Amino acid sequence: MTKGTEMLYVYEVEIFKDGDFYIAVPFDFDGATEGLSKLECLEMASDLLTTEIQDQLMHGKELAEPTVDNESQYGGKIYSLVIDTSLSSIPRMLKAEAARELRISPGRVSQLIAAGKLETFSYQGKEYVTKASVDARKQYNDFGSQDGFSGVEQKQDLTQSENYRPQELLYWSPQPCDVMVFKQPKKHVQTQTYDARERM
């Protein structure tokens, strides 16, 4: 459904207690997230769904059809989350702005985009770089030199996973050996690896 220029997406998640943590598992997307309280877990689940929806919108993918009246898989409680987002709500910048932010040349920005190190999407006829991917580059690389070709950056470029996604989110994949952990939006949330299949 729509709300002005935004879109409202409704998806269900299951939340259950696991030790000291509350775990949230979406029904229509892969992955899971956690929080120290049920409210915090709901907030993390909302962030997870928002990121997944925005990622699919940016890449022109068809969103999963929402399912309703799902049954509990882990003995928890089912919640419906309304996500208010669209392409226009994704923090972004033009390539020239990204170059200034990273203190590198526009040509180097194009190289990073081609190598999958910066994430872009088209909106209203212009190509934008996501702010999340720019922030991720600033975090993982040393941009002390103006040309952006420092030894630290080159070394880290070679060691980054090809499945790298520059999103500021704590995220788990239910598949073993495919756990992805990104910068936590809340410093007090502890990180632990969770395999959703353990409770199936």
- Residue 140 is predicted with a pLDDT of 72
- Residue 6 is predicted with a pLDDT of 61
Mean pLDDT by 10 residues, the chain (200 residues): 65 96 96 96 96 92 93 96 93 95 93 94 94 90 45 42 41 37 38 40
Alpha helices in the chain (DSSP H): 38-58, 95-102, 106-114, 131-140, 151-159
Q: How far apart are CA 15 and CA 77, in angstroms?
A: 5
41, with CB counted inside 10 A (0-12, 13-18, 19+), is buried
Check: CB of residue 1 under 8 Å from CB of residue 82: no
Token readout for 51 is 């990121």
- Residue 141 is predicted with a pLDDT of 63
- Residue 79 is predicted with a pLDDT of 97
